[in-house]
Amino acid sequence: MGSDLGKVNKALKDLNEKADEFLEIYDENHNKEVDISELIEKRTELAKDLAKDKKESRSLIEEENVEEFSKEVEGTEKEKKTREFESIEPESSQQ
């Protein structure tokens, strides 16, 4: 379970770093939110970013990190449920 928690924490850290990078680029008033007006002002840069090769696109990297995090969480939940299921002792049959 410890290694699963480590994987989830790493995925969260990576996602947080990518979100910070996105905010650094598009959050002009530094309020930790990207307003539609900020995106409109930087639409050319955003369009170029979205058009880049998949490996280079900040937006796609963020999406990949979200997917990776979701898979880690799902895997952790499945393992937890499996352990809980395995720990349930079958009732002895009464005849």
pLDDT at 82 over 70: yes
Domain that holds residue 37: 2-78
If one counts the domains in the chain, the total is 1
CB 62 within 8 A of CB 18: yes
Spell out the residues 6+ positions from residue 66 whose beta carbon is closer than 8 angstroms to its own: 15
Residue 68 lies in a domain: yes
Residue 48 lies in a domain: yes
The closest of 57, 76, 75 to 18, measured between CA atoms, is 57
Query: pLDDT over 70 for what percent of the chain?
Result: 78
Residue 8 lies in a domain: yes
pLDDT at 75 over 90: no
Structure tokens at 77: 């939940």
pTM score, two decimals?
0.47
Residue 67 lies in a domain: yes
Spell out the residues 6+ positions from residue 34 whose beta carbon is closer than 8 angstroms to its own: 22, 23, 26, 27
Query: pLDDT over 90 for what percent of the chain?
Result: 17
For residues 39-45, give the mean pLDDT. Answer: 85
